[in-house]
Amino acid sequence: MISESLKIFASDLKNSSKDLLPIVLVVAFFQLVFIKDVPQNLLSISIGLCIVAIGLALFIRGLEIGIFPIGEALAHDFAKKGSLFWLLCFAFLIGFSTTIAEPALMAIADKASMVSDGKIDAFYLRITVALSVGCAIAIGALRILLGHPIHYYIITGYIIVVSVTFFAPPEIIGLSYDSGGVTTSTVTVPLVAALGIGLSSSIKGRNPLIDGFGLIAFASLTPMIFVQLFGVCVYNFGDSSTVVVVTETIAQTASTATRNYTFYTIMSEFWGVMQDVLPIIAVITFFQYVIIKKPIAHLPKIITGIVLVIIGLDAFIVGLEIGLFPIGETIAYQLTTMENNWLIYGFGFAIGFATTMAEPALIAIAMKASEVSSGNINQKMLRTSVAFGVAIGIALGCYRLVHGDVLHYYIIVGYIFVIIMTYFAPKYIIPIAYDSGGVTTSTVTVPLVAALGLGLAQNIEGRDPLIDGFGLIAFASLFPMITVMGYGVIAQIMIKRSNK
């Protein structure tokens, strides 16, 4: 038993190490070739990377034995119970409770409050986003029950987003677009995916591949609408005081947040992970024992899986803080002072690709997509397509920021491409493509991308961190949808040729 477990862990550790290799290569390349300096604390960086690899291996194993089974079992039980009201309540509470405690959302909300001099209240912003995600998961679950094609909902949502953008104050637009990318946490994504797949598997006439995916896409779309409406209320009916940009405070936060790593901050990180997991456990426990009135099958195994997820995710974050974030933020800052825009674009592209390949939420979705499609969707190719989209998005976002162009023009053109690709892509890839926009911006990507965007806005003359500093996450969420549908089109053409 122990020997078999060690063999499985060794295999998971080997795979997670391969996933981290692109990040190491990108950082080493830019550090040695362009910065021309050996990083300080090389030993602590190496230790941090080892912790990241171990954490990622534990996290993936915990997903497979804990989170995925409990999500699919709950969906199956709700389908058997036949109560639409309780299913929608469960979907709403899962979305709301996990988002309100999401560490990435807390960080973005605090940054927004800081750069707006308190005009944008961090707590009310989080409540707004959490309500939007709760509604999104409930609408997504209802869509599965009704069997409606997902692209009708998503395209309608894009039209609403664009329409509201022309009425929203410019200070809120970048933040609203970014909020769609930070709502789907590393723990929430696998559970929501399992819920959708389990629900579609339990309803006659539903296809798990076509109908099961898409809940994450709703959770990425609705916050953009809700936050823009929140901004309209704040800037039109709230306090009309002048917005003061606290660039020095942000710079200090970005430069010191990952360097002063003590026992207190380690425990703070662990509590952040627990905040993300505890609401999920509370909601699951309530609905399982009070509403469904059925004990959880294989409870010891499920608990073991959840514990592995918590420990693995905490180790993953701690390792990133020790090993990669400090050097990544330093490189981003140094590149902005070298007066070479192409280096900035190149770094944005490379770090976007590398961090996405190691994103735990994306790994979880790719595993599930490969499983549901019986291996027809190649896990590695799907992740590579998503990573390529994120890389293009961040590079283009950096270009937009450097040149000071209006954010929503880029996003609108991107939405048009998504809509066009929707009509050419095979049906089975569309929900996965929409979901890929939400799973790319999570534990690994958000801190580095947010630091890069704010760093550029602070160091480029004429840029406003509140208006220009946000928005990179939106680019990182948009372009994977295009590249994944492109992957589906190419795969379909190759299959047709091979059949001929």
List, for residues 422-441, the tens digit of each pLDDT value: 988 988 899 999 988 877 76
Which stretch of DSSP H or E encloses residue 378? none
Better pLDDT: 311 or 335: 311
In a domain, 7, yes or no: no
Q: At residue 78, does pLDDT exceed 70? A: yes
42 Cα distance to chain centroid: 29
Which stretch of DSSP H or E encloses residue 366? helix 360-372
Query: 39 and 45 in contact (C-beta within 8 Å)?
Result: yes
Give CA–CA dist 52/473, Å, rounded. 23
In a domain, 5, yes or no: no
Tens digits of per-residue pLDDT, 35-70? 777 777 778 778 888 888 888 888 888 888 888 888
In a domain, 359, yes or no: yes
Residue 408 pLDDT: 81
CA 411, 413, 419: angle at the middle one, nearest 5?
A: 100
Q: At residue 245, does pLDDT exceed 60? A: no
CA 299, 305, 311: angle at the middle one, nearest 5?
A: 135
The domain tally of the chain equals 1
Query: 276 and 187 in contact (C-beta within 8 Å)?
Result: yes
Direct distance between the N- and C-terminal alpha carbons of the chain, in angstroms, rounded to an integer: 48
Give CA–CA dist 318/315, Å, rounded. 5
In a domain, 3, yes or no: no
Give CA–CA dist 473/445, Å, rounded. 8
Give CA–CA dist 19/451, Å, rounded. 22
Q: At residue 105, does pLDDT exceed 50? A: yes
Tens digits of per-residue pLDDT, 136-157? 999 999 999 888 888 889 889 9
In a domain, 1, yes or no: no
In a domain, 163, yes or no: yes
In a domain, 6, yes or no: no
Which two structure tokens, joined as six digits, stand for 55?
Answer: 């954490």
Which two structure tokens, joined as six digits, stand for 383?
Answer: 């992740």
In a domain, 4, yes or no: no
Query: 73 and 81 in contact (C-beta within 8 Å)?
Result: no
CA 106, 119, 457: angle at the middle one, nearest 5?
A: 70
Give CA–CA dist 464/448, Å, rounded. 19
**Residue 24, domain extent:** 15-499
Give CA–CA dist 11/362, Å, rounded. 19
Residue 247 pLDDT: 35
Residue 302 CB: number of other CB atoms within 10 A?
Answer: 18
Res. 481 pLDDT band, cuts 50 70 90? very high
